C-alpha cells in the first residue's frame, strides 16, 4: 500500500507532522452490531463476491517540547472506509448473501502530554472521535464509536530492573439504541 509520512522541524522545540496512506485487508470479523457485548468474534476471509476492504487515512499534527522533560502532541485525523463488510440483516433466503459491502469513516483529534523526570514518568491523553457506517443508503453510528477517552498514567523506575506503574482510563459510553421490534 502507498504510505507517506512527513515531519518538518520548524524549531528544536516544534515539529509539524503529516501522513497519508491507503490500507487494505482481506479478512473481517463477523459479528452482530445489535449486540451490546460480543463474546465471540470470528474472523473470516472476505468472500469473493465482495471487493477487498480499503481505508484511506489522512493525519496532521504537531509536537511541542517547550522544556527538556515536557512534551505535548496533538493530531487530527480522518479515515475513509471503503467496501467494509457488514452482516446482511435482511437475509431471508438461503441464496441471499451473508455479507454486504458498506462504507464508513472515522475522524477526530487526539491530545497527549508527557512529563518525565527520572525516576518518574507521567502521561495524560484525551481523544475526541466520531465514527459512522453507511449501509444501503442508511447512515448510522456503529457500536465501536466512542466519543471521549481519557488516559492517565504514572510510572516510576525503582532501580535494579524494577518498574511500577498505574493507569486510569475513562471512556464515554458506547452508542446504544434499544430494539423496539423485529420481524423474522
pLDDT tens-digit map of 9-19? 999 999 999 99
The grid cell for 6 is: 512527513
pLDDT tens-digit map of 41-82? 788 888 899 999 999 999 999 999 999 999 999 999 999 999
The grid cell for 174 is: 458506547
Tell whether the torsion through CA atoms of 48, 4, 110 and 151 is positive or negative: positive
* Model pTM score: 0.81
How would residue 184 be classed by pLDDT, with cut points 50, 70 and 90? Answer: low
How would residue 112 be classed by pLDDT, with cut points 50, 70 and 90? Answer: very high
Cα→Cα distances 6→1, 19, 71, 115, 141, Å? 17, 6, 19, 25, 32
* Spatial separation of the C-alpha atoms in residues 37 and 153, rounded to whole Å: 27
pLDDT tens-digit map of 29-41? 877 766 666 777 7
Tell whether the torsion through CA atoms of 88, 90, 92 and 96 is positive or negative: negative
Amino acid at each position: 500500500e502507498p504510505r507517506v509520512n512527513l515531519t518538518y522541524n520548524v524549531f528544536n522545540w516544534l515539529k509539524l507532522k503529516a501522513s497519508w496512506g491507503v490500507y487494505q485487508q482481506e479478512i473481517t470479523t463477523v459479528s452482530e452490531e445489535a449486540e451490546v457485548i460480543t463474546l465471540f468474534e470470528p474472523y473470516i476471509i472476505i468472500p469473493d463476491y465482495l471487493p477487498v476492504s480499503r481505508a484511506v487515512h489522512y493525519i496532521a499534527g504537531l509536537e511541542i517540547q517547550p522544556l527538556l522533560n515536557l512534551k505535548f502532541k496533538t493530531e487530527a485525523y480522518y479515515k475513509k472506509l471503503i467496501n467494509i463488510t457488514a452482516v446482511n440483516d435482511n437475509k431471508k433466503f438461503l441464496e441471499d448473501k451473508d455479507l454486504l459491502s458498506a462504507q464508513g469513516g472515522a475522524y477526530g483529534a487526539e491530545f497527549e502530554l508527557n512529563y518525565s523526570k527520572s525516576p518518574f514518568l507521567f502521561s495524560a491523553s484525551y481523544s475526541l472521535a466520531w465514527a459512522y457506517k453507511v449501509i444501503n443508503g442508511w447512515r448510522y453510528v456503529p457500536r465501536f464509536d466512542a466519543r471521549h477517552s481519557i488516559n492517565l498514567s504514572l510510572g516510576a523506575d525503582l532501580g535494579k530492573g524494577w518498574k511500577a506503574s498505574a493507569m486510569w482510563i475513562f471512556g464515554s459510553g458506547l452508542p446504544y439504541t434499544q430494539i423496539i421490534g423485529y420481524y423474522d
